[in-house]
Amino acid sequence: MATSVQRNLTDSRPQASSAMLKPGPQIVPSAVAETANAVRVRGLSRRFGSRDVLQNLNVDIAAGEFVALLGASGCGKSTLLRILADLDREFSGDVEVPHRRAVAFQAPRLLPWKTVWRNVVLGLPGGADRKRALEALEEVGIGHRADQWPKVLSGGEAQRASLARALVREPDLLLLDEPFAALDALTRIKAQELVGELWQRHGCAVLLVTHDVEEAVLLSDRVLVMKDGIIAHQEVIDLPRQRDVADPVFAKIRGNLLDCLGVRHGTHGNS
């Protein structure tokens, strides 16, 4: 179940050799390449100054797959996510992502001068469609806040609005960078459930960056652990949905991941 060699993560496809790496950044919509993958990354490197944050990283995400990404703080998770979101092109390697992407960041990042519903449909073709915005807001449970200014929303509400804004675009790939990190424990559990439901309804591929091992195992099909600029480890979670934290298999997977993250088993998460 667990594999710790990066080579195994890229299934049967030919390995990206250095000869294959084209110089300069490239983002090719996956519709062009014939693949069922939502994300295909080969030999991705990114340096900041003299520091290599990503070093020849490979990763695939299947269409409709829910993948969680764990890793120590500062290991480059957000860097990877920003590259997949086309916010950073200073990389080398091959990156293929779908045309329709959406991002929800750790901070909700709503435009404070637009009401909530206008934020949700901003940038959609066809202009400000209030009905569509309301549907999306209903779906995340804050339809009644549609006409508020973002600044008066609570943290959880703002995060939901940000999620609605991402989902209303009907993305093939949803990128989430620690979207629950700033929420309190209860709101967080609700938000996690919500994301699980929304994912099942929309069927998009999801890459969820998180620090919460439990959250990762609860929600995802596969958990990746990033270390030293590559995906160093993965766990495939084939537990049935509505997972139970108390399940021994769940606990074992969590233990493996904690070990892998360098947190000693037994000192953490054994509540």
Partner 1 sequence: MTIAEIGPVATDRERGRKRLPPERPRADGLHLQRIDPVSAKGQGLPRWLRRASGPVALVLLWHVLSVTGALPGEVLAGPSTVLSSAAALIETGELQEAMWVSLSRALTGLAIGGTIGVTLAVISGLFRLGEDMVDAIMQMMRTVPNVALIPLLIIWFGIGEAPKIALIALATAFPLYLNVYAGIRNVDQSLIEVGRTLGLSRLAMIVNVVLPGALPSALVGLRYSLGIAWLALVFGEQINATAGIGYLMANAREFFQTDVIVVCLVVYALLGLAVDFTVRTLEKVFLSWRPAFNGT
Ligand X SMILES: Nc1ncnc2c1ncn2[C@@H]1O[C@H](COP(=O)(O)OP(=O)(O)OP(=O)(O)O)[C@@H](O)[C@H]1O
Strands of 101-104's sheet in order across: 2-3, 230-236, 222-227, 66-71, 205-209, 173-177, 101-104
CA torsion through residues 263, 267, 268, 269, sign? positive
Q: Residue 75 binds which entry of Mg ion, partner 1, ligand X, none, with Cβ cut-offs from 5 to 8 Å by kind?
A: ligand X
| 78 is a site residue for Mg ion (CB under 5 A) | yes
Contacts of 31 (CB under 8 A, 6+ apart): 98, 99
Total number of residues that touch partner 1 (CB under 8 A): 21
**Dihedrals phi, psi of 230, to nearest 5 degrees:** -135, 170
CB of 104 to ligand X, least distance (A): 14
Q: Which of residues 35-94 bind partner 1 (CB under 8 A)?
A: 85-87
Q: Could you give the CA distance from residue 34 to residue 247 in angstroms, rounded to a whole number?
A: 39
Q: Residue 173 binds which entry of ligand X, partner 1, Mg ion, none, with Cβ cut-offs from 5 to 8 Å by kind?
A: none
| 179 is a site residue for ligand X (CB under 6 A) | no
CB of 102 to ligand X, least distance (A): 19
Contact 222, 239 (CB under 8 A): no
Nearer to ligand X (CB atom), residue 12 or residue 73: 73
Show the site string, 185-224: x = touches partner 1 by CB under 8 A, - = not. ----------------------------------------
CB of 161 to ligand X, least distance (A): 22
Nearer to ligand X (CB atom), residue 30 or residue 162: 162
Choices 9-17, 108-116, 136-144, 259-267; region in contact with partner 1 by CB under 8 A: 108-116
| 127 is a site residue for partner 1 (CB under 8 A) | no
Nearer to ligand X (CB atom), residue 18 or residue 73: 73
Q: Could you give the CA distance from residue 31 to residue 16 in angstroms, rounded to a whole number?
A: 20
| 78 is a site residue for ligand X (CB under 6 A) | yes
Can you spell out the DSSP letters for 151-210?
GGS-HHHHHHHHHHHHHTT--SEEEEESTTTTS-HHHHHHHHHHHHHHHHHH--EEEEE-
CA torsion through residues 11, 63, 251, 231, sign? positive
| 43 is a site residue for ligand X (CB under 6 A) | no
> Residues in the site for Mg ion, rule: CB under 5 A?
78
> Residues in the site for ligand X, rule: CB under 6 A?
48, 53, 71, 73-79
